């Protein structure tokens, strides 16, 4: 028993939820105020701002006698077209723990704009958790049975969804129009440029680093390679573009070493922005709901010449392109298929990967060398090289020895089974969720169709035809869900057979191929030219 506003409050628990009641009075609600604002909503004005929402709802909660504010949850800058938002996820966790039994928003669109997911929370999730939901401006209160606005919630969700779609279309059109006018629409200016403080749609030269760009072009055109340029820049302690961008603007840097690499320099040499061209709309999101970026064909790119001041002349740029095309620098991405141990070799000194390269005097063999040393020199790591044939032989022999003497088959099966089953279950769970959500949507459509039939909007024949089609789809989805369950069971049965076959291949001295290596080895460290350390998946 606790005291709230000088009244005795009784606390009870049911199904992991905490309920509060005041003796001989009303139920006490622990309230969650949820606030959300997307970047598109900011264009509406101050009325939808986080500050306005907070002030409006805190005053509303304070006026209620039997409400206690539990917490305020804020997702500022997050779209309403999906529910993958940090504070909404935290809100759900608090609901699961019984800390919250009433959720309140300014209006339904603050909860979400996707009509399917919003409907799920209103009609399924909140009722199942015995949580009351209120959208103040829309007059929605899920605990008021005779509230006509509750029935309008589904229609409002559809309208909110259409609004999000319309906003997305307008934003996309506006960006395309700006790009066609030669205005810069990117979030961050390319390295060597910055946005004009008087007009953020225009690029101006960033004199702090423009000379670095000129240095790269000049050195490359003199015949110096990418490795040489990168080494010189690192020796001078010049920040690479991602580190510089993080220091000068709101950008999260993902680089591990903070050093200049081949690809970074090559991208600068290939970028036509340095001769004053703007090439925009190279890609776009699939839709306003699917936040997946796809590349657009070159004919759809928007190219504007003389959009801003050039850092290098066209002659300098064209010469660099000619040299690049002639050299045709090869990438290392194919190594994983060409070498038995590629992708598994690591340097214990700098913790970066080893790469294979040719060495003078070795016709039919290659050597593995630390990639950081290879790119940046002895100042950043040590050259410890080992021949590929020596590596392959050592690992194969060790695997055979382990297989003959130390491999615990049951332990391997258990480990591999757990790791792969987790991945398989994650994939299946996502597919099942999509099917289950579609089934919920079909049930909602059938319910709405029946109401349309009762109200005379649909004829009986139209209703029957529509119902039959949706029921067929639902039956098909139910069968697919059952099939997914069988797949998991079948996977568990067959995994032991697969691993037994792998072990047999090793113990029989047959077929130690890349698949076998990847199945049993986590990583290999090159200690020195004669010593390696193998980390097996089945050994501690």
Q: Provide DSSP, 220-258.
A: HHTT--HHHHHHHHHHTTPPPHHHHHHHHSS-----SS-
Identify the residue with better confidence: 19 or 168. Answer: 168
Q: Which pTM was predicted? A: 0.45
Long-range contacts of 315-324 (CB under 8 A, 24+ apart): 316/217, 316/218, 316/221, 317/217, 317/272, 317/274, 317/275, 319/221, 320/217, 320/220, 320/221, 320/269, 321/269, 321/270, 323/220, 323/221, 323/223, 324/266, 324/269, 324/270
Q: Dig out the tokens for 458 from the structure.
A: 């649909």
Residue 160 has pLDDT above 90, yes or no: no
Close Cβ partners of 380 (under 8 Å, ≥ 6 residues apart): 234, 257, 259, 350, 372, 373
366, two tokens? 């290659």
Mean pLDDT of 493-498: 55
Contact between 204 and 193 under an 8 Å Cβ cutoff? The reply is yes
Does domain 2-164 fall under CATH 3.40.50.1390? My reply is: yes
Per-residue pLDDT, 46: 46
What is the tens place of the pLDDT at every residue in 193-231? Answer: 998 889 888 999 999 999 999 999 999 888 888 888 988
Strand partners, 283: 295
More confident residue, 101 or 432: 101
Quote the mean pLDDT of the chain.
78
Q: What is the structure's pLDDT at 472? A: 85
Query: Which of 20-29, 277-286, 348-357, 447-456 has maximum average pLDDT?
Result: 348-357
Report the alpha-carbon distance of residue 87 to residue 95 in Å, rounded. Answer: 12
Confidence of residue 452 (pLDDT cuts 50, 70, 90): confident
Question: What letter does residue 179 receive in the DSSP assignment?
Answer: H
pLDDT, residue 382, reads 85
Torsion angle defined by CA atoms of residues 469, 471, 475 and 477, in that order, rounded to the nearest 10 degrees = 70
Which two structure tokens, joined as six digits, stand for 149? 């606005």
339 and 356 in contact (C-beta within 8 Å)? yes
pLDDT at residue 4 above 50?
A: no
Task: Read off the pLDDT of residues 65-118 as tens digits, 9 standing for 90 and up.
Answer: 889 999 999 998 888 888 889 999 999 999 999 999 999 999 888 998 887 888
Q: How many CA atoms lie within 13 A of 183 on its CB side?
A: 11
516 DSSP 8-state letter: H
What is the distance between the alpha carbons of residues 150 and 153, in angstroms, rounded to a whole number?
A: 5
pLDDT band at residue 334 under the 50/70/90 scheme: very low
Which H, E and C letters describe 278-310, residue by residue? EEECCEEECCCCCCCEEECCHHHCEEECCCCCC
The arithmetic mean of pLDDT across residues 122-144, rounded, is 90
User: Are 167 and 81 within 8 A, CB to CB?
Assistant: no
Supply the pLDDT for residue 40. 61
Which range is most confident: 54-58, 114-118, 387-391, 460-464?
A: 54-58
| Surface-to-core class of residue 433, CB atoms within 10 Å of its CB (0-12 exposed, 13-18 middle, 19+ buried) | exposed
Per-domain residue ranges for the chain? 2-164, 193-327, 335-387, 405-536
* Alpha-carbon distances of 381 from 77, 249, 388, rounded to whole Å: 42, 31, 20
Question: E strands within 130-209?
Answer: 132-135, 140-141, 193-196, 199-205
Distances (CA, A) of 539 to 52, 250, 280, 421, 453: 58, 44, 51, 19, 66
Q: Which of 66-70, 149-153, 260-264 has maximum average pLDDT?
A: 66-70
User: Residue written as tokens 């040719």?
Assistant: 358
Query: Of 146, 140, 147, 136, whose CA–CA distance to 126 is shortest?
Result: 140
Confidence of residue 414 (pLDDT cuts 50, 70, 90): low
The model's pLDDT over 278-325, given as tens digits with 9 standing for 90+, comes to 888 777 766 655 556 677 788 878 888 888 899 999 999 989 888 888
Checking if the pLDDT of 2 tops 70, the result is: no
Under 8 Å CB-to-CB from 475, ≥6 apart: which residues?
Answer: none
Dihedral sign of CA atoms 145, 149, 152, 158 in order: negative
Q: How far apart are CA 440 and CA 472, in angstroms?
A: 14
| Mean local confidence (pLDDT), 27-33 | 91
Fold of the CATH domain 193-327? Hect, E3 ligase catalytic domain fold (3.90.1750)
DSSP, residue by residue, 106-140: SSHHHH-S-HHHHHHIIIIIHHHTT-EEEETTTTE
Cα 184 to Cα 100: distance, rounded to the nearest angstrom: 46
Residue 406: pLDDT above 70? no
Supply the pLDDT for residue 332: 43
Please give the pLDDT value at position 91.
94
Asked if the model's pLDDT at residue 240 lies above 60, the reply is yes
Whether pLDDT at 375 is above 60: yes
Residue 102: its H or E element: strand 102-105
Tell me the mean pLDDT in the region 467-494.
Answer: 75
- pLDDT-based confidence at 333, cuts 50/70/90? very low
pLDDT in the model for residue 252 = 66
């Amino acid at each position: 028993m606790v005291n709230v506003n000088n009244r005795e409050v009784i606390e009870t628990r049911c199904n992991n939820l905490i309920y509060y009641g005041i003796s001989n009075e009303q139920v006490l609600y622990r309230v969650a105020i949820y606030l959300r604002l997307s970047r598109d909503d900011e264009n509406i004005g101050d009325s939808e701002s986080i500050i306005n929402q907070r002030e409006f709802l805190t005053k509303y909660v304070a006026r209620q006698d039997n409400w206690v504010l539990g917490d305020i949850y804020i997702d500022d800058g997050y779209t309403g077209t999906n529910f993958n938002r940090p504070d909404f996820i935290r809100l759900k966790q608090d609901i699961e723990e019984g800390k919250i039994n009433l959720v309140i928003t300014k209006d339904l669109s603050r909860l979400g704009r996707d009509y399917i997911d919003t409907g799920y929370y209103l009609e399924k999730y909140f009722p199942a958790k015995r949580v009351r939901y209120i959208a103040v401006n829309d007059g929605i209160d899920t605990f008021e049975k005779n509230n006509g606005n509750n029935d309008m919630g589904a229609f409002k969700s559809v309208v909110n969804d259409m609004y999000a779609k319309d906003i997305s279309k307008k934003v996309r059109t506006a960006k395309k129009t700006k790009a066609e006018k030669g205005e810069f629409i990117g979030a961050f200016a390319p390295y060597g440029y910055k946005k004009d403080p008087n007009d953020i749609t225009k690029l101006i030269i960033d004199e702090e680093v423009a000379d670095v760009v000129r240095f790269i072009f000049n050195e490359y055109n003199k015949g110096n390679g990418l490795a040489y340029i990168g080494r010189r820049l690192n020796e001078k302690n010049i920040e690479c573009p991602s580190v510089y961008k993080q220091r000068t603007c709101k950008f999260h840097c993902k680089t591990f070493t903070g050093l200049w690499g081949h690809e970074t320099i090559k991208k600068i040499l290939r970028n036509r922005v340095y001769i004053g061209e703007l090439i925009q709309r190279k890609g776009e999101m699939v839709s306003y709901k699917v936040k997946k970026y796809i590349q657009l064909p070159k004919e759809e790119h928007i190219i504007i010449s003389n959009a801003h001041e050039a850092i290098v002349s066209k002659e300098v740029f064209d010469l660099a392109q000619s040299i690049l095309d002639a050299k045709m620098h090869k990438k290392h991405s194919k190594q994983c298929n060409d070498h038995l141990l590629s992708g598994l070799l690591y340097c214990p000194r700098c913790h970066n990967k080893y790469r294979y390269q040719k060495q003078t005097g070795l016709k039919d063999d290659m050597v593995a060398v630390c990639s950081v040393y290879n790119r940046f020199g002895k100042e950043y790591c040590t050259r410890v090289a080992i021949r590929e044939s020596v590596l392959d032989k050592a690992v194969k022999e060790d695997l055979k020895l382990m297989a003959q003497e130390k491999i615990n088959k049951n332990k391997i099966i258990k480990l591999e089974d757990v790791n792969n089953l987790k991945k398989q279950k994650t994939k299946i769970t996502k597919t099942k969720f999509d099917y289950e959500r579609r089934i919920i949507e079909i049930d909602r459509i059938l319910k709405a169709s029946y109401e349309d039939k009762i109200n005379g909007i649909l004829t009986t024949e139209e209703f029957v035809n529509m119902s039959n089609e949706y029921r067929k789809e639902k039956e098909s989805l139910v069968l697919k869900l059952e099939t997914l369950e069988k797949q998991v069971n079948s996977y568990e049965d067959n995994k032991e057979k697969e691993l037994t076959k792998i072990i047999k291949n090793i113990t029989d001295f047959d077929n130690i191929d890349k698949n076998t290596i990847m199945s049993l080895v986590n990583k290999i460290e090159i200690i020195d030219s004669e010593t390696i350390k193998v980390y097996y998946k089945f050994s501690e």
